[in-house]
Amino acid sequence: MSKHGASLLTQAPKVFFIAIALAGCASDIMKNYVGQPVESVVLDYGPPTAIVDLGQGERAYQWRKLSTSAVSGTSSGEVRETKHGTVYEETETPGYIERQECFYTFYARASGGRWFITNFRQPKLECE
């Protein structure tokens, strides 16, 4: 096994446990709003992107978050001896822009003229 392959195998458990530790972060924050008026979420994150009337005194409030990040490219080279002499071969991988769209949905029920959060929809794993 190559030096890099062995290194990846020894680090895989660490990466896995970090991913598990981070999973649930958004859900943990969302849990804290259950029982609070919808205005508390609006004060923290701005107005919802969508409000859906579910009937029977229930609504869904949804916030949309777009994230954009730049992933850098890589460049590597190798010096090789050929029958024509020494050559340098360079390999480049271009960078790219990564976009992530996440939706955070809270369910609410009307009570006394206000809307109170009763539950939430679990965000996609990559949005946690």
91 vs 127: CA distance, rounded Å: 33
117: its two tokens: 């959060």
| Residues 69-85: tens digit of each pLDDT | 888 888 888 888 888 88
Beta strands in the chain (DSSP E): 50-55, 58-71, 74-82, 85-93, 96-111, 114-121
121 vs 109: CA distance, rounded Å: 15
61 vs 120: CA distance, rounded Å: 9
Q: What domains are defined for the chain? A: 3-65+101-127 (3.30.1450)
| C-alpha closest to that of 65 among 102, 98, 27, 30 | 102
**Residues 75/91, Cβ–Cβ less than 8 Å:** yes
Per-position pLDDT tens, the chain of length 128? 444 444 444 555 554 444 444 445 888 889 999 999 999 999 999 999 999 999 999 999 999 998 888 888 888 888 888 888 888 888 888 888 888 899 999 999 999 999 999 999 998 888 87
| C-alpha closest to that of 31 among 124, 123, 127 | 123
